[in-house]
Structure 1
């Protein structure tokens, strides 16, 4: 039957034998208001590459001076849901732009399973190169410091930030000042530390990863499990500073902490810091009000990281 389910990865998506894809979350999109009344941050949608198509949402703080640091941001959503234009992200990125005086480019990369990895990695790498190119948006050319670039993301976006930093080191085309990984989506076939061992949960994580990676990459591939990558690649990451944020009740908390320890062991020459939020779970800062004390605490930590003088 045409409506027979081929893959059911609720609550994210279902794929049918007919070819139909039904996303069950992360489908609401809306452009940010042109001007945020509370902060004065202005925002607009831009086209990076019409052939992909690849878009971004730019955020510019009020009274912009030249040479603002540029934050290239990658949204989360397990590589298969979400958008740079999700209302979930606008308040967070507006707050970062205003408080840290950042010019933010939030990348709307292609999603799996229609576009399995490495599509998202390639799009986000292209977006990074665009920010330092003569073809970058006029806001970036007029107000951005194309020599002071930051990467950041949450969940799958944090995974992307890591992959982009590794590629930056390998290809040597851009020097990244810092990368902030918030609740990174890393996993593996064998549990780490206190990580959950429930068979059904781990099977679901395996099926999800296979779906978003085109069915060809297992849970011990370097894209999802950085511990499987040669430490030389991690040691050569093309950024000067690294901030890894984990949450105590996040099912992927152990992976984030293990990633931080691996980076320290690798011989990477940069400055790394691990921050843990007690009593909170995965991407809590996007689901709770900005006024929540733990949200403010994490936001302030990110602002401090981006604002630190060279």
Structure 2
């Protein structure tokens, strides 16, 4: 997925960060993926219903809410809050890619889910995507006493079993929302775990399989981070390299699931995250899934493949296991 072209072919291109985004000298922004919109649905195949609701009136932000159709009127389900990927700058909660995946995840895991549409960079640099996702969690928490604005959450969300999840940049976001939860907490809410699929973490010095990668690709990943966070101290900033975070032990959940892929350049960063978290003094449990023969976020493009189905089953087991 990371196939950056750092040599802009056109004179009017200021920065080419394919496959995500191209910035032009006149200020135009061309997003290369995730521009299509899939409407919410009442899906007969998965028996999952969805609708779009506003979670921040001030910022005019919406999310997509998912609920299994075959749920008893008073049945409580784990609440999954999902952050989409796309290098912080592309895709949305409403794209067909993410609508289809979260729909599938809700059907298999039997959870109620919020797919967060956060504001994207570069118009809204980090920490805006983190803050928007935190706002979505706060909005969800307003339903703890059963008197929030959204009846699906009032009736069916179990706030003692909240999971934060995301892939790529969304995995980065899920981690940081969990870190903030560890510091601030929310009354009546317990974040049981986080699910990080091919999380977008990075660092200044190449490690593992990064050592053999083309320099332009490494620079492209770094450039994507600097676009997302112009005020960053660099790629050892704890926001992109949590292995450098002295407060990592305050992660606000009791268990973590991390999926890495053999052919993903971000693989070793995900493994380093797990290794560092174990040594940090954090007392929770870590489950690592290493997927052979697959690349970055393969599950989004091949959701019915053997490996994608296996990963989905592991995520379902993680959500419903003891915690």
Normalising by structure 1, what TM-score? 0.94
| 1:169 matched residue in structure 2 | 182
- Alignment deviations for residues 141-169 of structure 1 (CA, whole Å, 9 cap, x no partner): 11111222111000000001110111111
Q: Distance in 1 between matches of 2:264 and 2:12?
A: 33
Aligned to 2:255: 241
1:109-164 deviation line (CA, Å, top 9, x unaligned): 00001111000000001111111114452110111112221110000000011101
Structure 1 moving runs of 4+ over 6 Å: none
Note the aligned Cα RMSD (angstroms). 1.5
Residue 194 of structure 1 deviates from its aligned partner by: 2.4
Q: 1:270 aligns with which of 266, 281, 284?
A: 284
Q: Is the 8 A contact 2:68 2:111 kept in 1?
A: yes
Question: Could you tell me which residue of structure 1 aligns to residue 7 of structure 2?
Answer: none
Match of 2:85 among 72, 76, 83: 76
CA contact (8 A) 2:34 2:97 kept: no
Measured in 2, the distance between the counterparts of 1:191 and 1:179 equals 26
Structure 1: any 5+ residue segments left out of the alignment?
none
Shift of 1:38: 1.0
Q: In the alignment, what sits opposite 1:137?
A: 150
Q: Give the corresponding residue for 1:158.
A: 171
In 2, the alpha carbon distance for the partners of 1:131 and 1:206 equals 33
Q: Name which of 16, 26, 48 aligns with 1:8.
A: 16
Quote the residue 2:306 is aligned against: 293
Q: Does 1:57 align with 2:101?
A: no
C-alpha contact 1:41 1:61 (8 A) present in aligned 2: yes
In structure 1, how many angstroms separate the alpha carbons of the residues matched to 2:149 and 2:194? 21
Q: CA deviation at 1:297?
A: 0.4
**Which residue of 2 is the match for residue 224 of structure 1?**
240
SS of residue matched to 1:89: helix
Counterpart in the other structure of 1:255? 269
Q: Give the deviation of 1:64 after TM superposition.
A: 2.0
Query: TM-score scaled by structure 2?
Result: 0.90
Whole-angstrom CA distance in 1 between matches of 2:157 and 2:232? 39
Give the deviation of 1:5 after TM superposition. Answer: 2.4
Match of 1:37 in 2: 44
Deviation larger for 191-200 or 81-90: 191-200
Residue-by-residue CA offset, 1:17-60 (whole Å, 9 max, x unaligned): 32211112221112232x11112110111110122122111110
What is the alpha-carbon distance in structure 2 between the residues aligned to residue 304 and residue 28 of structure 1? 32
Residue equivalent to 2:5: none
Number of aligned positions between the proteins: 304
Q: Does structure 2 conserve the Cα–Cα contact (< 8 Å) formed by 1:130 and 1:136?
A: no
Answer yes or no: is 1:28 the counterpart of 2:36.
yes
